[in-house]
Structure 1
Amino acid sequence: MHKVGVLVSGRGSNLQAVMDRIADGYLPLEIAVVISDKADAYALERAAKAGIKTVAIERKGCASKDEFEDKIQAALVDAGCELVVLAGFMRILSGSFVNKWHHKIINIHPALLPSFPGLHGQRQAFEYGVKFSGCTVHFVDEGTDSGPIILQKVVPVLDDDTEDTLADRILVQEHIAMPEALKLWAEGKLQIEGRKVRILA
């Protein structure tokens, strides 16, 4: 059973989606630890209720970003994690941290990359006036939302959408896409070739 660590910052709906798919047998994974950069994140409550080890590591409690990331690294290693899952983790990880987990960090972004990277992907897409948006699951590299793409889900932008209604519909697809991508990873079906991720039969 592969062990993964999940990094969170907020309510943890994507974490819950992964926990649900582990519970129903779809995902052959164990969440070994959930780490939040906010001690009051609801995601920690979700994990604790499920009996998963939780750790809060706040940036303001660390003298430097290096110390902050060293503590995250230590918690992941201590839990025996093989993969790091970013589920609404709102901090940019340094290149040195990412390189320790080369092609072993997976993120979900609420837009169709490479369009609208960074914060508020839904708002960026909505304000730009695109006809389609969605979400992207990708491996993390040293750039911002620039790593190799595993899969994407497309959501049409409706004429009467608001930023919030669009974000809600994208979130539904996020909860499908992240477990799908993790299942492919767990089954050894993801092959990275440069910028492309090949999904093996």
Structure 2
Amino acid sequence: MSSLRKLQPYSIFKWLWPLVFISNVVGCSGEKTDRWKEQVLLVDGSVVVVQRTAQYVKGGPELAFNLSGGHIAGTSIVIPKQDGKSNFPEWSATIFSDYGFPEVPIVVDFKNASPEIYTAMLEPSRCMRYRRYVLAESSWKEKEIDFSSVSLKTNLLIDVDDSPKVVDVGLKARLNSDSRIQDYYRSVDAASRCIDK
């Protein structure tokens, strides 16, 4: 049996829930930008505070428009350097699904003192496309994920609608435990990933 587990049609809404729910906050208010600080528990047990941004616009894909009149159009993350005196270059979503939603950042971590960001996105084939971004010469580059060794649990807030100005680790754990969020957003999941032929 293939390690690729495809989503059944009835559960598509659960796969899209983080982005559909986010779209719902725009409503009649139209365009807006949300900014907040978020504690992130790293694999080594340390905690960093990142700055996150989500941008919303009017209109958009039919799914979002029918629910709210608007949708999330972009998301970004700024990660502090270990000296705490400056930041790494901002990461911004550059990949968008056929539904018009940006990729969802789910993990921030460090490897050899350099930050990495993992994202998830639903593909038309109803598998999850995970991407890994690393800093190379002061810019973010996509790099291959070694699914034979990676084991990462989500450490970023998934549903970001109207998030508090400060999200600590405990609050995030409670928000991310919402049963409406599909499990495949909760980790970099090798079993549900897209497999290119």
What TM-score results when the alignment is normalised by the length of structure 1?
Answer: 0.27
* Structure with greater strand share of residues: 2
What TM-score results when the alignment is normalised by the length of structure 2?
Answer: 0.27
* Structure with greater helix share of residues: 1
